[in-house]
Structure 1
């Protein structure tokens, strides 16, 4: 059983899901992915303790303050995807990193000469917990904004909210 809850942010509606123990998904309602994989008969529209904590996190975030707490998160991906998502969690509020820099960090930990930035991009694109796992803080190697499931316009607004100078990124 999954619990879902709808949240109205300054950037539009957000849907979040929980298995009762941890957050399993968080996405803008306009996103192409995530909601289509949920089966209506498996959902309960309510707010459990995980979703209440997530809502508090979102309230803090959208007030322009870096949240100093984290709701419990359930990762559901390959080992490589989970490695990338954990690295995303380490990107500080208001800072950005490139796909290549993430690839370099993973390569170093694994004792490799290099790692594919495209593989990192694929893992980032499969992130089911937007905002909290901050894939919006990842940019292209030339400092350009690249894809974001909710749209580049939302990525720009999220980075601006965090104080990132986005001029020249798009």
Structure 2
């Protein structure tokens, strides 16, 4: 059974999805989600969603969350590697796709890794904010893509700079 919770925050409504194995999605609510007002109060919470809510509450008061949230990610080993590196980017900091690619290459003992492959892995990130792909920018310091849109990416980066 999949549990769903709607989390209201400065970037809009986030849809959190989890099953008994862990949290597997944090997404911006879309019109396709058809979220009528009754869904905001009647959705059930499981332990993984509760942990994610606590994590997001800490994030949105400007602290680096130190809460263990069990994740249930359906991903390739490469995606998981990129996402783990991305999770280590400090609150308020940024890095580039190329920096992550070079770190993976170094960790694997190979000459190079594609920054575009890193971008593709981040493009499939199912956990917005928690896997902070908004902190990854282009080599020229431009925002490049973001699943929730570059306006929200900039909003999150600006928000983090306030602290």
Q: Same fold (TM over 0.5)?
A: yes
Residues 1:89 and 1:66: Cα distance change in structure 2 (over 3 Å): same
Query: What does residue 11 of structure 2 align with?
Result: 11
Alignment TM-score, normalising by the size of structure 1: 0.85
In the TM superposition, what whole-angstrom CA distance separates every residue of 1:23-76 from its partner, at most 9, and x where no partner exists?
Answer: 1111111499xx7xxxxxxxx941111111111111111112221223111221
Task: Report whether the alignment pairs 1:67 with 2:65.
Answer: yes
- 1:125 equivalent among 117, 123, 126: 123
Matched, 1:22 2:22: yes
What does residue 38 of structure 1 align with?
none
What SS does the corresponding residue of 1:27 show, helix, strand or coil? Answer: strand
Indicate if the aligned counterparts of 2:21 and 2:70 stay in contact, CA closer than 8 A: yes
Evaluate the alpha carbon distance shift between residue 30 and residue 136 of structure 1 in structure 2; reply closer, same or farther with a 3 A threshold. Answer: farther
Map of 1:41 onto structure 2: none
Q: Which aligned pairs between 1:60-139 and structure 2 lie closer than 5 A?
A: 60-139=58-137
TM (norm. structure 2) is 0.88
1:39 counterpart residue number: none
Tell me the equivalent position of 2:37. none
RMSD: 1.8
Structure 1: runs of 5+ lacking an equivalent: 36-43, 165-170
Instruction: Give 3-state SS (helix, strand or coil) of 2:3's partner.
Output: strand
8 A contact 2:51–2:67 mirrored in 1:
no
* Alignment partners' CA distance in 2, 1:66 and 1:155: 18
Unaligned runs of 5+ in 2: 34-41
Q: Structure 2 vs 1, CA of residues 62 and 31 (structure 1 numbering), >3 Å: closer, same or farther? A: farther
